[in-house]
Amino acid sequence: MPELPEVETTVRDLSEKIIGRKIVDVFCDSPNLIKKPSSFASFKKEITGKKILDIQRRGKYILFFLSHNKVLIAHQKLTGHFLYGKWKKEKGQWIPLLEGALNDPMNKFIHLVFVLDNGWMLALSDLRKFARIELIDKEEFKNHKELNSLGPDALDPKLTPKKFVEIVASKKRPIKQVLMDQTLIAGIGNIYSDEALFDAGIHPLRKANELSNEELKKLFNSIKKVLKRGLETGGESISDYRHIDGTKGNFDKYRKVYRREGEKCKRCGALIQRKKLGQRSTYFCPNCQK
């Protein structure tokens, strides 16, 4: 699932390409992606002709602020990612008209396409079709339940070590689950929680309320460190995520534990282990993380 670095990279890249552009048409072969309004016909009618005024990120959500007081809210979920290019539809498939990374197999699962007034397109590729798209009025946006339930952003300067300790220290769940709880801190998912816990030397199954303040402050610094590195490198593309031009992010060379089960720890040489925590796999070094 795209996490803070991947979503922020997408927002920054899209901002350079499509702010000021007008949506002149839209196609969708999987109407279940559209959660609001209730029908694709209504969605198409409402969004056609709207200009893209701004693009922002909140947690893992992408927010497109449109003319006529409309807001398009997109959550890419497990396998979704936005692409910017040109396509033609042949035999039910969207075929890239440009050579290069848009032809990557991970970019072929296109189910939603916005045609822009410059002849280019904004497309959503989503292998499992779990993404959520909502088009709502700005007034409704102010009271959006999921967005308003998000905790402070993991890279918000206002999230200080002291504030982080206040949020986390009383929780009785495993620290890995606490980090992934978007109502506590927004933006951290499976990849960067594993990497931050490894960097801090903390076992993911330890209860948050059993960690010392010193350990929590160290973890806070590790979170900032791995997320910033993720941003600098354009995100992690070990799975489905791609940049809007179809290329991969480069965080992979800094990945220490995530999806490295059975490989040697780069710090101590012990074998990386994997355990299930809830419904998610958790990767860690049994020697370095206590």
Give me the active site residues, please: 2-3, 60, 280
Let me know: does 73 contact 63? Beta carbons within 8 Å. Answer: yes
Q: What is the DSSP string of 162-180?
A: HHHHHHHTT--SBHHHHHH
Let me know: does 11 contact 87? Beta carbons within 8 Å. Answer: no
Burial class (CB in 10 A: 0-12, 13-18, 19+), 24: middle
Residue 157, number of CB atoms within 10 A of its CB: 6
Let me know: does 5 contact 224? Beta carbons within 8 Å. Answer: no
Tokens representing 82 are: 């936005």
User: Buried b / exposed e across 96-130, counting CB within 10 Å, b at 16+?
Assistant: beeeebbebebbebbbbbbbbeeebbbbbbbbebe
Enumerate residues 6+ apart whose C-beta is below 8 A from 63: 55, 56, 57, 71, 72, 73, 74
Q: How far is CA 192 from CA 3, 126, 251, in A?
A: 8, 21, 10
Residue 262, number of CB atoms within 10 A of its CB: 8
